[in-house]
């Protein structure tokens, strides 16, 4: 099979781990490292010298560099400072409010957006795929939680663009999991014929209608995808029928996931230490250590009945205790209750009873927790389906969708829904909904509005997202103005407002006064997100400063190598100093001093490279002398033993 000119990869950009996958004639497969692990920890470590640690390297050194190791950044994507307060107590790095109320991370004294952090992870995944496939990757399907709002979806798209990827589609994580599930279910059978269904309707959107039986009388399969990841939770009800994956309803929480399960253990330890010692142990380093320890305790309790915690408190002694599985389950029960409530709401929106669900597909690492599985089984009255790897299923599904978009599969079709209602603020602060939640996407809705005051020439349109009836209780996604309306009595102008949600779930809004023809339109940019110009600037800067960045990176590497070589030379010199000729010892000490001074004062990588090579040649005799000395000592020891 000849590979397509452009491979489209599927990316699961996760809170804890991220993965990349692709499809060929064998089906979807995760891109793995040399150890066979497909996961890349979503962790970035920033060093003072500007160098980066990414993935496992950053995760393993988080305690050593607590204030500049960024984790769980997905929970900061597209949120404003008003939502930040609940995250701050658990973050060891510095987060501040930037322009337009957007959240930014302070790294080595400069602000970095969550989109830029996510772009670093995406670039690592892109590079991993390119190494394995041996070709440039330019396009990707990226998954997001089904309950991500427009701001968070925009932020994800921005991150992809900054990483140098064309994001051809953003799809919901549970829907991606359903695609992977469907492929697995159909692997042993012949692919059924394709069924053409309308992708969207140009009238006002309504909730999708159930797929009816086809002429053969085959019943559609109704499944629920329970997706409990590192930072978010979603449940989506879907119908699978004749190659069509149709989302019917979705519900969830973008601030409920594995991080919160870890935090109940962190809170327990912090509370007991405070009661025992009267001190607050939450320094940045301790917070990083305790976060990683709590995660390990959570994981161990999925297979063991208890887990041991030991924490060094310095002068205050040591904190030790055993957490039992039953104790852990009592702590996390309220969190699991919230997921079950979301399942109940999703079924209500789909007008279904739990008994109508044929299978529950479990997604996300936290679905390995025994209490999660038992509660889900109890609610749906059936055993959850756990045959798919919960860490990889979303990435595999994204790769399937990528293959569909690339034209590699024509027997599958994906019909998704929007998670939240969308509308505008009307006079008096009400929420006028144009698109209701769980409407099939892509779709479009139009509605007529008018002016409230005589001679009103401008109308401000505040775009809202949410389920409440008052604008103050909903989230503002952005504002724009329709100006130049000819003066007319109140109620006479006819202003048509149109909402268009594309296949990525991204919202475009336009307004047109029909009598005068005046119109305005925008792709909604969140009040606390990046503007198009800012995203473009970041993208252009990455190209414009590519050579400068490479030189800076090389300079950092050379300075690190110089210090390493100088230190090792000093160690060898100290060991053989008494037997080395005095003139040679003084010359080497001077060369170390000169090399270090040059490293501190010169910004020319080529000059440092040449100096390092010369230093290596000048100390070659010392290395040979030290090796000879070690061999002589070893021989003397051996003779003594005989």
Instruction: Please report where in the chains the tokens 């209701």 appear, as a residue.
Output: 436
Alpha carbon distances (Å) from 162 to 117, 244, 434, 537: 10, 33, 32, 9
Angstrom distance (rounded) from CA 202 to CA 90:
46
Q: Provide the 8-state DSSP code for 330.
A: H
Angstrom distance (rounded) from CA 183 to CA 191:
10
Q: How many CB atoms lie within 10 A of CB 521?
A: 13
Active site residue 149: no
Exactly one of 173, 234, 242, 246 is catalytic; which is it? 173
Residues paired with residue 31 on neighbouring β-strands, in sequence order: none
Angstrom distance (rounded) from CA 252 to CA 235:
6
- Yes or no: say if 120 and 44 are a contact pair by the CB < 8 Å rule: yes
Exactly one of 53, 74, 126, 433 is catalytic; which is it? 74
Radius of gyration of the chain (CA): 29
Provide the H-helix boundaries in 384-497.
393-405
User: How many residues can be counted in the chain?
Assistant: 642
Alpha carbon distances (Å) from 611 to 169, 590, 615: 50, 13, 6
Give the list of residues 6+ apart from residue 577 with CB closer than 8 angstroms, or none: 585
* DSSP characters over 59-118: HHTTTTSGGGEE--GGGGTT-BHHHHTTTGGG-SSEEEE-GGGBEEEEETTEEE-HHHHH
Active site residue 12: yes
Angstrom distance (rounded) from CA 252 to CA 421:
14
| Three-class SS state of 134 | coil
Angstrom distance (rounded) from CA 19 to CA 42:
10
Q: Which tokens is 546 given?
A: 């590519």
Q: Which tokens is 45 given?
A: 């470590």
CA 21 to chain centre: 15
**Would you say the C-alpha torsion 567, 568, 572, 575 has a positive or negative sign?**
positive
Active site residue 378: no
Q: Which tokens is 358 given?
A: 């044929």
Exactly one of 12, 150, 234, 425 is catalytic; which is it? 12
Q: Phi/psi at 83 (nearest 5 deg)?
A: -95, -10
Inter-axis angle of helices 546-576 and 532-544, nearest 10: 50
Active site residue 126: no
Give the list of residues 6+ apart from residue 624 with CB closer than 8 angstroms, or none: none
- Report the alpha-carbon angle 50-51-55, nearest 5: 130
HEC secondary structure over 142-177: EEECCCCCHHHHHHHHHHHHHCCCEEEEEEEHHHHH
Q: How many CB atoms lie within 10 A of CB 338?
A: 14
Q: Provide the 8-state DSSP code for 575.
A: H
Exactly one of 67, 116, 150, 227 is catalytic; which is it? 227
Q: Using DSSP, how many helices (H) and how many strands (E) does the chain show?
A: 15, 28
Q: Which tokens is 413 given?
A: 């079709």
Alpha carbon distances (Å) from 604 to 545, 564, 591, 617: 17, 19, 19, 20
Residues annotated catalytic, as ranges: 12, 74, 173, 227
């Amino acid at each position: 099979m000849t590979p397509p000119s452009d491979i489209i990869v599927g990316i699961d950009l996760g809170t804890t781990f991220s993965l990349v996958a692709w499809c060929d004639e064998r089906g979807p497969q995760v891109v793995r490292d040399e150890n066979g692990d497909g996961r890349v920890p979503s962790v970035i470590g920033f060093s003072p010298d500007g160098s980066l640690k990414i993935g496992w390297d950053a995760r393993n050194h988080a305690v050593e560099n607590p204030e500049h190791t960024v984790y769980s950044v997905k929970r900061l994507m597209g949120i404003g400072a008003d939502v930040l307060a609940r995250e701050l107590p658990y973050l060891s790095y510095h987060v501040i409010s930037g322009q337009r109320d957007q959240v930014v991370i302070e790294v080595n004294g400069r602000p970095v957006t969550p989109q830029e952090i996510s772009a670093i992870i995406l670039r690592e995944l892109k590079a991993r795929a390119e190494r394995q496939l041996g070709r440039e990757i330019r396009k990707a399907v990226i998954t997001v939680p089904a309950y991500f709002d427009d701001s968070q979806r925009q932020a994800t798209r921005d991150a992809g663009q900054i990483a140098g990827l064309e994001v051809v589609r953003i799809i919901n994580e549970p829907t991606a999991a359903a695609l992977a599930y469907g492929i697995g279910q159909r692997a042993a059978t012949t692919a059924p014929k394709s069924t053409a269904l309308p992708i969207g309707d140009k009238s006002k959107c309504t909730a999708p209608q159930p797929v009816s039986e086809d002429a053969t009388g085959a019943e559609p399969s109704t499944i629920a995808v329970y997706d409990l990841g590192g930072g978010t939770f979603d449940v989506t009800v879907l119908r699978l029928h004749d190659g069509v994956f149709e989302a019917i309803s979705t519900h969830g929480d973008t601030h409920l996931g594995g991080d919160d399960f870890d935090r109940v253990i962190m809170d327990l330890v912090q509370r007991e230490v405070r009661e025992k010692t009267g001190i607050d142990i939450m320094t940045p380093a301790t917070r990083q250590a305790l976060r990683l320890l709590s995660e390990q305790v959570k994981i161990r309790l999925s297979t063991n009945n208890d887990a041991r915690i030991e924490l060094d408190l310095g002068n205050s002694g040591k904190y030790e205790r055993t957490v039992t599985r039953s104790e852990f389950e009592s702590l996390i029960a309220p969190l699991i209750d919230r997921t079950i409530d979301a399942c109940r709401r999703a079924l209500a929106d789909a007008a279904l009873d739990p008994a109508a669900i044929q299978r529950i597909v479990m997604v996300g690492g936290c679905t390995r927790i025994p209490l999660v599985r038992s509660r889900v089984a109890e609610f749906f009255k059936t055993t959850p389906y756990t045959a798919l790897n919960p860490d990889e299923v979303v990435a595999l599904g994204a790769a399937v969708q990528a293959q569909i978009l690339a034209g590699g599969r024509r027997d599958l079709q994906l019909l998704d829904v929007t998670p939240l209602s969308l509308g505008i603020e009307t006079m008096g602060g009400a929420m006028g909904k144009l698109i209701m939640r769980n409407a099939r996407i892509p779709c479009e809705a139009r509605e007529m509005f008018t002016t409230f005051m005589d001679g009103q020439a401008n109308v401000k349109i505040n775009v809202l997202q949410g389920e409440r009836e008052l604008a103050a209780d909903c989230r503002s996604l952005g504002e724009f103005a329709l100006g130049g309306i000819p003066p007319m009595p109140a109620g006479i102008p006819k202003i048509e407002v149109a909402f268009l949600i594309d296949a990525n779930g991204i919202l475009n809004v336009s307004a047109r006064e029909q009598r005068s023809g005046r119109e305005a339109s925008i792709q909604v940019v969140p009040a606390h997100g990046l503007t198009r110009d800012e995203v473009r600037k970041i993208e252009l800067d990455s190209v414009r400063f590519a050579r400068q960045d490479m030189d800076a990176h090389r300079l950092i590497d050379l300075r690190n190598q110089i210090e390493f070589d100088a230190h090792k030379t000093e160690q060898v010199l100290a060991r053989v100093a008494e037997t080395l000729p005095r003139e040679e010892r003084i010359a080497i000490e001077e060369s170390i001093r000169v090399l270090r001074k040059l490293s501190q004062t010169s910004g020319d990588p080529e000059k440092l490279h040449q100096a390092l090579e010369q230093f290596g040649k000048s100390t070659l005799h010392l290395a040979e002398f030290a090796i000879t000395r070690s061999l002589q000592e070893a021989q003397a020891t051996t003779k003594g033993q005989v």
